[in-house]
């Protein structure tokens, strides 16, 4: 793994890493050059995916959690419901307690993410997994690597920081979504 692993672990919105896969999607679903960012309302009702072009592809529009698309302050968003069945996962996400996700949530994330999970490399016998996925299991190898990079003991806590406040949209944004979508939401 890279010596600059901490920077890499925080490169992508944790909403895209841990919540978007619960909808059966990942960043690639929206197009590598089309995906911009992923946000969530503070109440966990909606996930918003910022994209460059709302007409890039069809797949997101057919997702059963699709709510609406909107352009707000010059930015394009595709809006999806986060099912209430993932409420526990959302609460643990907000607290930064990724290792406390249910096993079903972890497996759903691993299954639907575009991040590497136990993939063979071109080096014989070497398997690689993205650190953000390893963090859900408090992987000891990741912990040792982070401790070496930080030059400090991490104890028994989580290996990833809680999500940054910038990924959360105030629940009043729900009103904006409802204004764009109309009474169907």
Flag whether 82 is in a domain. yes
Query: Given a cut of 70, is residue 153 above it in pLDDT?
Result: yes
Band of the pLDDT at 2, cuts 50, 70, 90?
A: very low
Can you tell me the mean pLDDT for 55-74?
A: 91
Q: Please report, rounded to a whole number, the percentage of residues in the chain having pLDDT higher than 90.
A: 54
Range of the domain at 105: 5-113+162-184
- Describe the strand order of the beta sheet including 75-81 as a list of residue ranges: 66-72, 75-81, 46-51, 35-41, 168-169
| More confident: 8 or 58 | 58
Distance CA(116)–CA(180), nearest Å, equals 36
Query: Given a cut of 60, is residue 16 above it in pLDDT?
Result: yes
Containing H/E element for 66?
Answer: strand 66-72
Question: For residue 7, what pLDDT is reported?
Answer: 59
Structural domains of the chain, count = 1
Band of the pLDDT at 8, cuts 50, 70, 90?
A: low
* Of 63, 77, 74, 71, the residue nearest 29 (C-alpha): 63
User: pLDDT digit string (tens) for 85-98?
Assistant: 999 999 999 999 99
Flag whether 157 is in a domain. no
Flag whether 70 is in a domain. yes
Residue 128, helix vs strand vs coil:
strand
Flag whether 65 is in a domain. yes
Q: What is the mean pLDDT of the chain?
A: 86
User: pLDDT digit string (tens) for 105-141?
Assistant: 999 999 999 876 666 666 676 566 688 888 899 988 8
| 118, two tokens | 């136990």
């Amino acid at each position: 793994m890279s010596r600059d692993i901490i920077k890499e672990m925080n490169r992508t919105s944790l909403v895209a890493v841990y919540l978007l896969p619960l909808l059966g999607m990942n960043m690639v679903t929206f197009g590598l050059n089309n995906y911009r960012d992923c946000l969530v309302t503070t109440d966990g009702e909606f996930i918003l995916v910022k994209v460059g072009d709302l007409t890039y592809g069809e797949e997101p529009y057919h997702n059963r959690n699709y709510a609406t698309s909107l352009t707000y302050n010059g930015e394009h968003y595709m809006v999806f419901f986060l099912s209430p069945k993932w409420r526990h996962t959302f609460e643990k996400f907000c607290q930064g307690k990724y290792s406390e996700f249910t096993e079903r949530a972890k497996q759903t994330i691993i299954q639907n993410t575009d991040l590497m999970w136990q993939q063979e490399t071109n080096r014989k016998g070497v398997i690689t997994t993205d650190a953000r996925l390893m963090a859900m299991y408090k992987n000891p190898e990741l912990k040792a690597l982070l401790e070496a990079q930080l030059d400090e003991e991490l104890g028994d806590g989580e290996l990833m920081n809680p999500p940054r406040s910038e990924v959360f949209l105030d629940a009043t944004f729900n009103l904006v979504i409802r204004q764009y979508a109309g009474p169907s939401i």
